[in-house]
Amino acid sequence: MQVIPSGAALGAEIQDVELGGVSDLDFSEIHRAWLDHLVLRFRGQRLDVEDLIRFSRRFGELDWAPVQETGRRFVEGHPEIYVVSNVIENGVPIGSLGAGEAVWHTDMSYLENPPKASMLYALEIPPSGGDTYFCNMYRAYESLPDALKRRISNLSLKHDATYNSGGYVRQGLAATDDPISSSGVVHAIVRTHPETGRAALYLGRRRNAYVAGMPLAESETLLDELWSYATHDDIAWSNQWQPGDVVLWDNRCTMHRRDSFDPNTRRILYRTQIKSVSGERM
Ligand code: SIN
């Protein structure tokens, strides 16, 4: 097995490993590489659903997939698997997020205890578009001026639950653009990663985000300033998907977004979400 760093601010490719049967020794190297590089790509994998779940579980217990905007929950019989797809069968989307852009976000940060990691496995990929970008939120934090670091050190942020990253309203919630009253949960803006001990910015999503207790206009200005540091090209890396790619990322120190693609082409990926355990919560 080889670990090939991307040369960007995050990301590495792991070569010469079959995720259907990973030894304990290889797993500990993969785990180390994941903490060091934040996002890992494994190409050319041939996994069935059980293999994907088994490999994901090496990192910890799995969360159930969030409910899709259409109300469907998961791959039948596998509540752990979230389907990311624009494909429509018998008039019903088989997955979430459509074919439009998915804006920068961290998965499921609207929960009290968001998953520490997510893993995407590519089944069908369009000929162009749909690239996924990741940014390094340790580096985003480190790039802030000292005065801004001091200003946010004890501040918390409300992470909106209303919209998913494709801009769709989540099942059971009403559309709103009021950051103060929208439903969501509050997390510290600066969090210490429980496994690396490094400080990272934790911003979740921009839409309807709100700095707890601040006048709204002040919160908007502060968030715009923080976001301007978070998504610079020089702290990002992107994956141009191929069928058989598995990409694993750390939600505690990265965000991601996806380019749009031609809605007349097919894109299907399966995603698992790995829970934070209580000792590891931030
Ligand atoms: C996601 O945000 O989990 C999906 C990203 C993608 O479609 O590439």
pLDDT tens for 224-240 read 999 999 989 999 999 99
User: Looking at ligand 1, which atom is closest to the CA of residue 105?
Assistant: 2
pTM recorded for the entire structure: 0.94
CA of 217 to the centre of ligand 1 (A): 31
For a substitution probing ligand 1, which of 125, 271, 273 has the most ligand atoms within 8 Å of its CB?
271
Strands (E), 144-217: 156-160, 184-188, 190-192, 199-201, 210-211
Q: Whole-angstrom Cα distance, residue 189 to residue 158?
A: 9
**DSSP run (H or E) holding 105:** strand 102-105
Q: Say how many Å lie between the first and final Cα of the chain, rounded.
A: 31
CA of 257 to the centre of ligand 1 (A): 7
At 210, list the tokens. Answer: 């709100």
Q: Supply the pLDDT for residue 165.
A: 80
CA of 24 to the centre of ligand 1 (A): 29
How many other C-beta atoms lie within 10 A of the C-beta of residue 258?
A: 26
Cβ–Cβ < 8 Å for 272, 56: yes
Q: Supply the pLDDT for residue 279.
A: 59
User: Looking at ligand 1, which atom is closest to the CA of residue 118?
Assistant: 3
3-state secondary structure of 226: helix
For a substitution probing ligand 1, which of 119, 257, 258 has the most ligand atoms within 8 Å of its CB?
258
Query: Does the pLDDT of residue 72 top 70, yes or no?
Result: no
Query: Does the pLDDT of residue 129 top 60, yes or no?
Result: yes
User: Looking at ligand 1, which atom is closest to the CA of residue 256?
Assistant: 2
pLDDT tens for 136-168 read 999 999 999 999 999 999 999 999 989 888 888
Q: Supply the pLDDT for residue 74.
A: 67
Please give all residues whose beta carbon lies within 6 A of any atom in ligand 1, as ranges: 84, 97, 102, 107, 132, 165, 256, 258, 271
The band of 280, judged by pLDDT with boundaries at 50, 70 and 90, is low
User: Looking at ligand 1, which atom is closest to the CA of residue 102?
Assistant: 2
Query: Does the pLDDT of residue 73 top 60, yes or no?
Result: no
Closest residue CA from atom 6 of ligand 1: 258
CA of 72 to the centre of ligand 1 (A): 17
Cβ–Cβ < 8 Å for 242, 132: no
Average pLDDT of the segment spanning 204-231: 96
How many other C-beta atoms lie within 10 A of the C-beta of residue 251?
A: 24
Q: Supply the pLDDT for residue 174.
A: 87
pLDDT tens for 163-202 read 888 888 888 888 999 999 998 999 999 999 999 999 999 9
CA of 179 to the centre of ligand 1 (A): 24
Q: Residue 173: how many CA atoms within 13 Å on its side-chain side?
A: 20
Closest residue CA from atom 4 of ligand 1: 84
Query: Does the pLDDT of residue 59 top 90, yes or no?
Result: yes
Give, in order, the Cα–Cα distances in Å from 93 to each of 57, 72, 213, 267, 269: 27, 9, 39, 12, 13
User: Looking at ligand 1, which atom is closest to the CA of residue 269?
Assistant: 7
Closest residue CA from atom 5 of ligand 1: 258
Mean pLDDT of the chain: 94
3-state secondary structure of 34: helix
Bridging pattern class, strands 2-5 and 12-15: antiparallel
The band of 71, judged by pLDDT with boundaries at 50, 70 and 90, is low
pLDDT tens for 251-277 read 999 999 999 999 999 999 999 999 997
3-state secondary structure of 128: coil
Candidates 131, 84, 100, 101; CA nearest to 269 is 84
CA of 213 to the centre of ligand 1 (A): 31
Candidates 213, 193, 187; CA nearest to 111 is 187
Candidates 54, 57, 73, 5; CA nearest to 275 is 57
At 172, list the tokens. Answer: 């059971």
CA of 105 to the centre of ligand 1 (A): 10
